[in-house]
Structure formats: C-alpha cells, structure tokens
C-alpha cells in the first residue's frame, strides 16, 4: 500500500507532463514511457494533472482516464499526488475521491480564482475540506501568479491549525523566500504543526528555498535528475557541491521558465530525451520556432560540456 501524503513528505515530486499526439489526443503510450523516464531518474513521487500538466485543457472524462492510467502504470512504485482544482467543488471532490480510490497518495488544491482576502480563502477551503472529508491528505497550491489569490502566512497558519488534513504547502509565490522563512519560523514559535513544503517555479530558486527550510521540489523541469541530486546533496550537507551542479543547469532552468512559452521548451526536451513521442501541446498552446530550437541546441550543448567539466 502506497504511503499517503503527510507532514514528513520530502524529496522531488515531479509534475508530470500530459503527452499529446499531434492531433491533440492524449498519448497513453507516451504516458507509459514518461512514467518510466521519471522513475528511472530517481524521483520520490509524481504529481499528475498539475497546471503545467495542461490539466485545464482536459475534459472531465479525459482527466479521470489519464489519472487512472498513470496510477496503474506507476503501480505503487512511488506516491502520486493528483491535482484536483476545479471551479466546482462537487467536481473537485469527485475527482479527489476517484483519485484516492485509484491509490493516489493525496490531492493538490489551489484556491479559486481571485479570492481577495484570507477570510475568503479560509471559507473556500472549509467548503473543500468538508466536501473531501477528513481522510484525504491535501497539498495547498500557492500560485498567485495564476490564481490571483494571495495568502498571507497568518492566513495559511490558520488553515494548518483548523484542518489536520492539510499536510503540505506547494510554494510558488514569487518573490516568496521571505514567506517560506516566515512559515517555518511562525510554526515553531507558535507551536503549529510543521507541514511539508515542496517548491515549484521550475526550480528557479531551488538552492535558496532549500536553505530556508523547504523539504524538496514539486516542479516539472525536464532534467529531473538534477532536482533529485540537488535535494539529496542539500540534505546530506553538501551545499557547495549541490550549488555547483545546479549552476550548470541554471541557463536551461531559466529558459524553461519563460511565461507562456516554457511548456513548449519542457516538452521539446522531454521529446529529445525519448520520454514522449511528440512535443505537442494542446491548443491553444505554445510551439517552438526554428530560432527557439537553435537556442535550445546551444543551451543543451553547453550543459553537456559543463557536466563533463564536473566529471558527470
């Protein structure tokens, strides 16, 4: 039986891409190869139906089918979190419960769009937790760049105090290093539960976030082995070695994080690495130009040279 998401969860939970064929259909064969690629790279877990997994572009039946397929392929080898955010709480609860029935480790929920106050966010999550029941572990996705919902440390701490099933915080606010530190510091000073914190934003600030108390990463960078190694090195106290390795990948991390465009880069790299059979995004989605591909060629070539220089 897969261990459920809890306050001690750590490591790298890769945000799985959703592979599409050129005609826009979900490519289940590539889903299988992608699972094997991620597991081979040493990830601690996976997250399916995330925002960068193009979940909003899937119909409800497609999302359920893809989630079930991925969980069957993983087959308990690593825990899987399912993104279940939906404008309708009933829809959210149905996907959450079907995910747990399919052996998910927990679910991830972002606040509804444009909640403007801590009270509104608290009231929303009270409804979500009531619909889910007490037995489904939840990760709060803090991504105000997309949702428009900014949660303060005080408001998040109130959620932690009031709802035991909230066990993880996905940290993607930007700039957000001070917020991460404050969550850790106030939990200790106020005697609150210490929840797991995994960070996103493509790993763009990963070394600093780990230094401030993050437990790992939940993002979809197309070289998951870097995330895995850097997190492991930090945990082992090998901070300088971790930063040297991270620095080698940083130009690609940055290139992949271009707003509205980075998904095409991520999928192109996964395609080049043999993880998926097509780099297609579902319309409307970004696509790379010849100039883009040339830049990517250059960046990958430089990365390979830097890794050789590091003896890797």
Domain boundaries, the chain: 11-239
Closest CA to 209 of 168, 251, 181: 181
pLDDT tens per residue, the chain (312 residues)? 678 999 999 999 999 999 999 999 999 999 999 999 999 999 999 999 988 889 889 999 999 999 999 999 999 999 999 999 998 999 999 999 999 999 999 999 999 998 989 999 999 999 999 999 999 999 999 999 989 999 999 999 999 999 999 999 999 999 899 999 999 999 999 999 999 999 999 999 999 999 999 999 999 999 999 999 999 999 999 999 999 999 999 999 999 999 889 999 999 999 999 999 999 999 998 999 999 999 999 999 999 999 999 999
Q: Please give the CATH superfamily to which domain 11-239 belongs.
A: Aldolase class I (3.20.20.70)
Q: What residue ranges in 84-151 does DSSP mark as E strands?
A: 106-109, 138-142
Q: Output the DSSP codes for 2-57.
A: PPPP-TT--EEEEE----B-TTS-B-HHHHHHHHHHHHHTT-SEEEES-GGGTGGG
pLDDT of residue 196: 98
Two tokens, residue 22: 């050129």
Identify the pLDDT of residue 84. 97
Tokens of 105: 């480790």
Whether residue 124 contacts residue 149, with contact meaning beta carbons closer than 8 Å, is answered with no
Joined tokens for residue 305: 């040279």
Residues 93/131, Cβ–Cβ less than 8 Å: yes
The alpha-helical segments, DSSP class H, found in 133-237 are 144-147, 153-162, 177-189, 206-211, 224-235
* Residue 298: strand, helix, or coil: helix
CA 90 from centroid of its chain's CA atoms: 23
Single out the residue of 175, 187, 167, 106 nearest to residue 144, CA to CA: 175
Residues contacting residue 242 through CB under 8 Å, at least 6 positions apart: 207, 210, 229, 230, 233, 234
For 209, what's the count of Cα atoms within 13 Å in the CB-facing half-sphere? 29
Q: Rounded to the nearest 5°, which phi and psi values hold at 217?
A: -125, 145
Contact call for residues 71 and 103 (beta carbons, < 8 A): yes
C-alpha to C-alpha distance for 211 and 248, rounded to whole angstroms: 19
pLDDT for residue 116 = 84
Integer CA distances (angstroms), 209 to 21, 278, 286, in order: 36, 33, 29
268 alpha carbon, distance to own chain's centre: 18
């Amino acid at each position: 039986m897969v261990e459920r998401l809890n306050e001690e969860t750590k490591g790298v939970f890769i945000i799985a891409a959703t592979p599409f064929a050129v005609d826009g259909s979900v490519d289940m064969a590539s889903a299988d190869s992608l699972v094997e690629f991620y597991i081979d790279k040493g990830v601690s877990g996976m997250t399916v139906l995330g925002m960068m997994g193009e979940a909003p572009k899937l119909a409800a039946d497609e999302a359920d089918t893809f989630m079930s397929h991925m969980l069957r392929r993983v087959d308990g080898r690593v825990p899987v979190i399912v993104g279940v955010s939906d404008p309708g709480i009933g829809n959210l609860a149905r996907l959450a419960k079907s995910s747990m029935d399919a052996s998910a480790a927990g679910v991830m929920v972002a606040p509804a769009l444009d909640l403007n106050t801590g009270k509104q966010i608290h009231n929303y999550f009270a409804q979500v937790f009531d619909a889910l029941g007490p037995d489904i572990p939840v990760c709060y996705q803090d991504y105000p760049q997309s949702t428009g919902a900014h949660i303060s440390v005080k408001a998040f701490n109130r959620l932690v105090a009031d709802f035991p099933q909230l066990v993880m915080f996905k940290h993607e606010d930007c700039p957000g290093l001070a917020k991460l530190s404050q969550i850790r510091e106030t939990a200790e000073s106020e005697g609150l539960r210490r929840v797991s914190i995994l960070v996103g934003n493509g790993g763009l600030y990963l070394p600093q976030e780990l230094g401030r108390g993050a437990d790992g990463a939940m993002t979809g960078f197309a070289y998951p082995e870097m995330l895995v190694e850097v997190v492991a090195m930090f945990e082992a106290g090998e901070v300088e070695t971790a930063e040297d390795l991270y620095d080698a990948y940083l130009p690609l991390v940055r290139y992949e994080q271009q707003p509205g465009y980075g998904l095409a880069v991520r999928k192109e790299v996964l395609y080049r690495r043999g993880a998926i059979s097509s780099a297609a995004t579902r319309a409307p989605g970004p696509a790379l130009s010849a100039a883009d591909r040339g830049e990517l060629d250059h960046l990958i070539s430089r990365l390979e040279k830097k890794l050789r220089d590091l003896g890797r």
